[in-house]
Amino acid sequence: MVAKAHSTALARRLWPRADGGQTWEYIYFVDDVRAIDIPYEDLNAAIGSAPNRVPLGFAIPSPEQSVAAIAAFRLNEP
């Protein structure tokens, strides 16, 4: 991530409101994006999840799981 911005007006134009009136008001700018293909089974094994787990929606791994995945798949290498 190289930058983050907050815009309520943009969020209202782009996305519907969730229950309770909330929406996604933060915009994240990223750089050096690479496409990778990691099977769920391999990712689950690396981060200690159930072998048949399929993440639904937007799931954020814990810091420990992130470190494990980065190491297992050498994601910090150019």
Q: Where are the domains of the chain?
A: 1-33, 34-78
Tens digits of residue pLDDT in 29-76: 999 888 999 999 999 999 999 999 998 888 889 999 999 999 999 999
Per residue in 2-30, pLDDT tens? Answer: 999 999 899 888 887 877 778 889 999 99
How far is residue 53's CA from residue 43's CA, in Å, rounded to a whole number? 10
Give the per-residue pLDDT at 53.
92
The pTM (predicted TM-score) of the whole model is 0.63
- How far apart CA 55 and CA 30 sit, in angstroms, is 22
Q: Please say whether the beta carbons of 2 and 30 come within 8 A.
A: yes
Report pLDDT for 3.
Answer: 96
Q: What are the beta bridge partners of residue 6?
A: 26
- Please give the pLDDT value at position 52: 93
